[in-house]
Structure 1
Amino acid sequence: MARIDRADVINPSPIDDAADGLRRLTDLLLRVDENDPALVAVADELDRIEAALEQNAGPVEFRDPVSGRGNALAPPLDMERLPDGTVRATGSLGLPYQGPQGLVHGGMSALMLDHIFGLTHPEGSTLLEELVVRYHQPLPLFEGVVITGRRMSDEDEKVRAHGEITVDGYLAVSAEALFRDAPPPTT
């Protein structure tokens, strides 16, 4: 099994460590009393941190919103490509990904499946044309999830894929995707 986008886990960079800290801070901010007087000092410290980072900010770099450790929005997922080409991600989602109370937001489920489908096309020459998502069961927060995606067929310059999100062996979300060849870049 080949790990995907996770080589940086062995030797995390300072940006990875900072993003992990921001994920933890985001979770804490969602759980603290909004009238806690300590928040004034926290806001001041965050302003100081922002000013320090702004001094060294450069051009925008691509940091994937689902599997990039350097992006604090990315959920904590471990991804791997199985020998049959299936892409599998495992992890759990906390408060930053909440929709209805105690449950993962449906849009987050769609985003994760969309991303997994993209990884089933390692050549990167296709674009998502259609994504049909079915919500079978609520997806609870703080539970281990398994997300899988695999190519199903290639025909007429279009590729079909199927994916699922399961929790404790039950199907929570499934999706079907249709990809088409990417147009050549325009100059």
Structure 2
Amino acid sequence: MATAKRLTWLAVLGEKFYRTNLEFFHDFILLLRWYFIGSEADKEINHEKQAVWLKENLIELGPTFIKIGQSLGTRADLLPLPFVKALGELQDNVPSFPNSIAFARIEKELGRKINEVYAEFDIEPVAAASLGQVYRAKLFTGEEVAVKVQRPNLTAIIKGDIEILRKVTKFAERFPSLNENADWAGML
């Protein structure tokens, strides 16, 4: 049974990689080409569009790639300002996941209904980030609290993404020009 689950998971992961990541990496290579080969005027015109495109695609790829984007968003020494600004938005401006999933997770963790634990509970998250989202609530004692909820299937998603990234880095190691001053596998 474990083998069947693993094979199903690998098939889903493979389909995800093929459909989403392969398209992303193709477009990412085009982005790098524009960045390094284009004229200065072209670079300036395209940086804002490219930065937004990169941010949106990292969000689409999920938590692991959002984390990578967050890290890159702090590197003004590596990236032009439009990229730093766009990727900086990933720190606290990520789409939330459905409240129904979050509420079910809270109730499962607590073993009780939300209204049995909290006197008040905001139905919209205060913030959403790569790994979860936060709700404002008030206990029956009157104390205000923040309730953090992890994104669904986070561990499996991150493990799958890291497996994909390991394969991509192994592939990239075949091209010496991509490895100058970079230890891609070491970063994982």
Q: TM-score with structure 2 length normalisation?
A: 0.31
Structure with greater helix percent: 2
Q: RCO (CA 8 Å, sep 6+): is it higher in 1 or 2?
A: 1
Q: TM-score with structure 1 length normalisation?
A: 0.31
Structure with greater strand percent: 1
